[in-house]
Amino acid sequence: MTTSRATIRDVAAQAGVSVATVSKVINDRYGVSASTIERVRAAIEQLGYESSLVARSLRNQRTNVIGVLVTDIEPFSAELLKGAAKAIRGTGYELVVYSAGGEAAHAVGWENRYLSRLSGTLIDGAVIVTPTVLAPSYGAPVVAVDPHTGGEDVPTIDSDNRRGAETATEHLLELGHRRIAFIAGRSDLESARLRETGFRAAMAAAGVPVDPALVVAGDYAEALSANAAHALLRLPDPPTAIFAANDISAIATMDMALTLGMQVPDDLSVIGFDNIPESTLTRPMLTTVEQPIQLMGQRAIEMVVAILRGEHPDPRQVRLPTRLVLRDTTAGPR
Amino acid sequence: MTTSRATIRDVAAQAGVSVATVSKVINDRYGVSASTIERVRAAIEQLGYESSLVARSLRNQRTNVIGVLVTDIEPFSAELLKGAAKAIRGTGYELVVYSAGGEAAHAVGWENRYLSRLSGTLIDGAVIVTPTVLAPSYGAPVVAVDPHTGGEDVPTIDSDNRRGAETATEHLLELGHRRIAFIAGRSDLESARLRETGFRAAMAAAGVPVDPALVVAGDYAEALSANAAHALLRLPDPPTAIFAANDISAIATMDMALTLGMQVPDDLSVIGFDNIPESTLTRPMLTTVEQPIQLMGQRAIEMVVAILRGEHPDPRQVRLPTRLVLRDTTAGPR
DNA sequence: CTGTTAGCGCCTTCAG
DNA sequence: CTGAAGGCGCTAACAG
């Protein structure tokens, strides 16, 4: 037990050569005799040696590793990771996902701290998911997914949040709803602002005034959204439909409606945003606006790889389409 | 742009002190005057300095990072990661997920290579998902999820694969099926062997012989499973039900049935294993055996953390229960 | 062909 | 209270 892992020195000692020679063998550099190579390889084999990624990346600039930085691994980022993993195949790069485990993430600027911790060493480039502040990149290429702002300098990937929100709202309107509530997302993210903008635009276009009491904060988070839903449904004149800024919030809303003894969609229509896999786990299944999340992850990786290869991907701001997915949580008001 | 990230030396220069002093401030060591601390903190702030994880981990033994090593990020591992991320919260540890991007993963022993690359440096402990060879751990605690073998030395987490497979088979049997096919999983994994064992045991218990032609390889993979399903359904005397060793295979089977113009469950019953979120995306929705995947990830992290804290978790081999989830892809044979 | 030297960014003695 | 020196594992010059 606990036999510390073999280092390059152990290999060198075992093979009776210098550390530098071992390094040469490992990296296929010229200038090592066949017999020495043989001996070194044998030692490596015997000791189960594998060069330390850390030591190596401290010394070299390139590591062949791309990082994906997330605050947490939840349904959205997990989908994104699937896409990222798909895109990484065949590129020769490896993927490292770094998650602070929620806590540190609350501090504004987590993305820059992470980036600073990993960049220059360990990763050649990074994808940052839902960053709130985007600092000058430290040399390594960075692509932001669903960033705090419509991006100016940094390449970004997002989806058409505004149009998606309009579509959702129009759907509710067409069903005959007029008292439509909106549970807003994280106010520090552009996506949340655009979803609210889309909601308001669709309402305005239909000539339906937005009751300020029906627009509440949900923060893309379960607990806060549940509270928000509770408050909305307890209003003297409650909404007949709720548009939640993401699926997590929509699911929390459905749970709360159930808790309050209401039937979805008979007593209340609910519509979400994202189309995470979990949205089909609810009963009834959630009607929602789909973002191509996996594709967003895929595109982000592709863009980082392209930049790493010295290319200059042209639209640096990629906006993917959204799409209404009709399921069973919306119906006309009674 | 491209201003290389600040190092501890930049901070030292900016604050007019030595590198060592900065290090002391960062790590809260005694022996620095209040005014110096102030100056150093200001410099850190101004430069946006964050110590390099790599340099740090090379120097120290502890990094406060736990690694999760996977061959790829697909539905199963993604679920597991959600659980792992949940478990990491509040522990003070951070999470790094390392994925080889499919390729390197094909080589046997990827887990040991990764572990060797990262262990001792970068990560304090690791969770390895579906390893095929488990070597002596290099000092750092390692927990294996769904390993190649019933684990002897290494702590492991898995679910009751055998019982789950029995349950699935019994369900098919109770519906009246007799020609039941089995699309097997990755033969290098204990889980796949146990699922097949469970299938055979249930068949034997019901006195139904297993037609060798109806047991085919699927490897837990989509392409191979689709082929397998095709072959099965083209048999002169095709099965009336197919039990696939995981949901990916089951979904591939459903797709193939559809391609061949068959109705599920009318012409063919299909049942899977895992209950990944994707299993509710099929139409009809997939009947399957649920493994508590997130919980497996959670438990694995908890165990690593416990060992890191010097505890000796008692059952070192944790087996979680499985459960039949009845949905819409099974019915009696015509 | 092989070994020696220096240094990546950081932290920890140990002197001053 | 502060700074200089050494070394973590590795690689890139340069010497022999």
SS3 A145: strand
Give pLDDT, residue B322. Answer: 98
Q: Chains A, B: CB contacts under 8 A, how many?
A: 192
Name the residue closest to D8, CA to C1'. B59
Higher-scoring residue by pLDDT: A53, A150? A53
Tens-place pLDDT, residues B111-121: 888 888 887 77
Tens-place pLDDT, residues A179-230: 999 999 999 899 999 999 999 999 999 999 999 999 999 999 999 999 999 9
Residue A3 has pLDDT above 60, yes or no: no
Give pLDDT, residue B107. Answer: 66
Give pLDDT, residue A1. Answer: 35
Neighbour order of strands in the sheet with A269-274: A215-217, A180-184, A241-244, A269-274, A287-290, A323-325
- Give B29's Cβ-side CA count (13 Å radius): 8
List protein-proximal bases of chain C (any atom < 7 A from a CB).
1-5, 7-13
Residue B206 has pLDDT above 70, yes or no: yes
Confidence of residue B106 (pLDDT cuts 50, 70, 90): low
Tens-place pLDDT, residues B6-21: 889 989 988 999 999 9
Give pLDDT, residue B277. Answer: 94
Tens-place pLDDT, residues A250-284: 999 999 999 999 999 999 999 999 999 999 999 99
Q: Do A88 and B79 touch (CB under 8 A)?
A: no
Tens-place pLDDT, residues A275-300: 999 999 999 999 999 999 999 999 99
Average pLDDT value for residue range A5-30: 90
Residue B157 has pLDDT above 90, yes or no: yes
Residue A134 has pLDDT above 80, yes or no: no
Q: How many CB atoms lie within 10 A of CB A260?
A: 14
Q: Is the CB of B120 under 7 A from strand D?
A: yes
CA-to-C1' distance for B55 and C15, Å?
25
User: Which nucleotide in the DNA or RNA is closest to residue A37, CA to C1'?
Assistant: C1
CA-to-C1' distance for A16 and D15, Å?
20
- For B264, the token pair is 């599920």
Give pLDDT, residue A314. Answer: 87
Q: Do A102 and B112 touch (CB under 8 A)?
A: no
Q: Do B97 and A101 touch (CB under 8 A)?
A: no
Confidence of residue B2 (pLDDT cuts 50, 70, 90): very low
Residue B262, judged by CB atoms within 10 A of its CB (0-12, 13-18, 19+), counts as middle
> From the CA of A31, how many Å to the nearest CA of chain B?
26
> From the CA of B137, how many Å to the nearest CA of chain A?
7
DSSP class of residue A208 equals P
Tens-place pLDDT, residues B232-280: 999 999 999 999 999 999 999 999 999 999 999 999 999 999 999 999 9
Cα dist. B111→A40, B91, B147, B191, B305 in Å?
A: 22, 25, 11, 17, 20
Confidence of residue B105 (pLDDT cuts 50, 70, 90): low
| Least trusted range by pLDDT, from A256-270, B38-52, B159-173 | B38-52
Give pLDDT, residue A220. Answer: 95
Backbone angles phi, psi at B132, to 5 degrees: -110, -15
User: Which nucleotide in the DNA or RNA is closest to residue B21, CA to C1'?
Assistant: D2
CA-to-C1' distance for B53 and C9, Å?
9
Amino acid in the structure at residue B9: R
Whats the size of chain B, residue-wise? 334
Rounded CA-CA distance A85/A100 in Å is 20
Q: How many CB atoms lie within 10 A of CB B236?
A: 5
DSSP string, B39-100: HHHHHHHHHT----HHHHHHHSS--SEEEEEES---HHHHHHHHHHHHHHTTTT-EEEEEE-
Contact status of A116 with chain B (Cβ, < 8 Å):
yes
Average pLDDT value for residue range A309-317: 91
Cα dist. A35→A17, A292, B180, B217 in Å?
A: 12, 54, 58, 43
Rounded CA-CA distance A319/A315 in Å is 9
Q: Do A48 and B1 touch (CB under 8 A)?
A: no
Write down the domain spans for chain B.
Answer: 8-51, 65-159+293-319, 161-290
Tokens 């459960």 appear where? B323
Give pLDDT, residue A2. Answer: 43
Give pLDDT, residue B229. Answer: 98
Confidence of residue B231 (pLDDT cuts 50, 70, 90): very high
User: Which nucleotide in the DNA or RNA is closest to residue B59, CA to C1'?
Assistant: D8
The pTM is what? 0.93
CA-to-C1' distance for B2 and C10, Å?
22
Q: Do B2 and A138 touch (CB under 8 A)?
A: yes
Give pLDDT, residue B60. Answer: 85
Name the residue closest to D3, CA to C1'. B18
Give pLDDT, residue A285. Answer: 95
Average pLDDT value for residue range B137-143: 81
Residue A138 has pLDDT above 70, yes or no: no
- Chain B: residue nearest A114 by CA? B50
Higher-scoring residue by pLDDT: B162, B109? B162
Confidence of residue A102 (pLDDT cuts 50, 70, 90): low
Confidence of residue B183 (pLDDT cuts 50, 70, 90): very high
- Closest CB from B54, B101, B139 relative to A95: B101
Q: Tell me: domain A65-159+293-319, CATH 3.40.50.2300, correct?
A: yes
Name the residue closest to C6, CA to C1'. A59
Give pLDDT, residue A151. Answer: 60
Give pLDDT, residue B102. Answer: 64
Domain spanning A8-51: which superfamily?
lambda repressor-like DNA-binding domains (1.10.260.40)
Residue B136 has pLDDT above 70, yes or no: no
Q: Do B50 and A116 touch (CB under 8 A)?
A: yes
Confidence of residue A114 (pLDDT cuts 50, 70, 90): confident
**Which residues of chain B does A106 touch, with a Cβ-Cβ cutoff of 8 Å?**
none
* CATH class of the domain comprising A161-290: alpha beta
Confidence of residue A149 (pLDDT cuts 50, 70, 90): confident
**Which residues of chain A does B90 touch, with a Cβ-Cβ cutoff of 8 Å?**
101-103
**Which residues of chain B does A120 touch, with a Cβ-Cβ cutoff of 8 Å?**
4-5, 52
SS3 A250: helix
- Residues packed against strand C, CB within 7 Å: A 16-21, 24, 30-36, 58-59, 120-121; B 4, 7-9, 19-20, 22-24, 26-27, 29, 49, 51-52, 55-56, 58-60
Q: Is the CB of A18 under 7 A from strand D?
A: no
